[in-house]
Amino acid sequence: MSQLLLQNRKIVLGITGGIAAYKACELCRKLIKNGADVRVVMTEAACKFVTPHTFAALSHHEVMTDLFADAEGIDHIAITNDADLYVVAPASANTLAKFAAGIADNAVTTSVLASACPIVVAPAMNSRMLLNPATKDNLKTLQERGFYIIAPEEGDLACGDHGMGRMRNVDDIFSYICALLNEHIALPYEALPQNYLPSPKAPIAITQTKLLPKSHGAGIKIVITAGPTEENIDPARVITNKSSGKMGYALAQMAATMGADVTLISGPTDLATPNNVKRIDVTSASQMLDAVKSQIGQANIVIGCAAVADYRLIEPMQTKLKKEEHGEFLTLELVRNEDIISYVGHLDEDRPFTVGFAAESDHFEENAREKLQRKNLDLIVLNDISDPEIGFNSNDNAATVFGPKGIVSSFGKMSKIKLADLLMELILAEYKNSKHHEGLPTK
């Protein structure tokens, strides 16, 4: 029997008031099923949604609900002793505000304040509360202090509205926890706009050795392109594609987690900048090429994950196109953009280790091998975009990696963050075994 993912891990699960508290039951059960020793702490408001007896039965431990328990009760300091992780799910707007202000007035806020282990919060609230400047400031403050934020998702809310604010599903939260407690600080994709939750100004300090990130990317400089590009037709219209940027952002997060110095060159997306990643925003293919050229001199590895427009208008229109002026048919004259990853691949012998992506809908292996050779790449990652479950904008993906000698590795359907983890492991290993790497990086 394989080892459980969370074997011998002690996790404190804090639950605050909100309809999402019922999801904490499933999270508690899943953590325990995977080997964790779970201790539950609840606010008075949380107890109005799910009784403490439910969590006592699930965890086989007494549930802490009161700061002033009797002599046989649970101490709010002792409950976090030797804890590997403190997870607050759901975390209400009120609780986030108290965390940010250092208020300790209930079992959850007090035990969090007394905790020495990493703290993860999964917010859940109405969209207007989530987007309120006070809540945004509180989340930013917590992230800068080292809290891990599992961004909420869009969906139906308890108030009847539809929008951002629903607590992330249990599987995502569980994956996040496993990532943290298995020598990673790379976390599932955070679906918040860039301007909603900025990255910390400084790296988060982790004192527990078992939570230190992998370091085999240390000293390696990686440039990653991600997202779509846009080519103007007129001031209101563009030529673009369906790329979400999720795969490229996941690769950037994983590379940074492994200790690499990462620059992410991104087309237009709503994704938050991964922790400890330098980001350069561009719009068009020519802007992305210029950004790559500006960074390539210091790069050991370049990964072309962006879906770059193949063509642009020879001369974009300066005023909005009027259909009345063009009749039933419109002809646009296009010119080919320079292939960015091919440009990198055909640099001189000192070029970086170069990895491309091939998004294909048919003749998969044939097309991938042809692109690998024509663009002079070290590796190419083949994605099947004909499958809607792993195509553009999906949270899952599958990939086959080709090198000059054929298939290097193949990965079935999995989350993009997990695939990014495996791909970065592979890319770093291939780089270190290549002619591009001799001892320590010198660029």
Binding site, annotated residues for CTP: 304-306, 310, 320, 357, 371, 375
Binding residues: 304-306, 310, 320, 357, 371, 375
Cα–Cα distance measured from residue 13 to residue 170, given in angstroms and rounded to the nearest whole number = 13
**DSSP secondary structure code for residue 11 in this structure:** E
Catalytic residue, candidates 25, 47, 159, 178: 159
Helix (H), strand (E) at residue 86: strand 85-91
Cβ-in-10-Å burial (0-12, 13-18, 19+) of 367 comes to middle
CA 391 vs CA 191, 277, 395, 433, 441: distances in Å: 17, 25, 9, 31, 35
Are 280 and 264 spatial neighbours (Cβ–Cβ below 8 Å)?
yes
CA-nearest of 110, 127, 179 to 148 is 179
CA 349 vs CA 184, 339, 395, 436: distances in Å: 34, 19, 37, 9
Query: What tokens were used for 321?
Result: 């196109």
Are 380 and 368 spatial neighbours (Cβ–Cβ below 8 Å)?
yes
Q: Dump the DSSP string for 303-342.
A: EE-SB--SEEESS--SS---GGGTTT-----EEEPP-HHH
- Does residue 178 carry a catalytic annotation? no
Give the residue numbers annotated as catalytic, written as ranges: 159
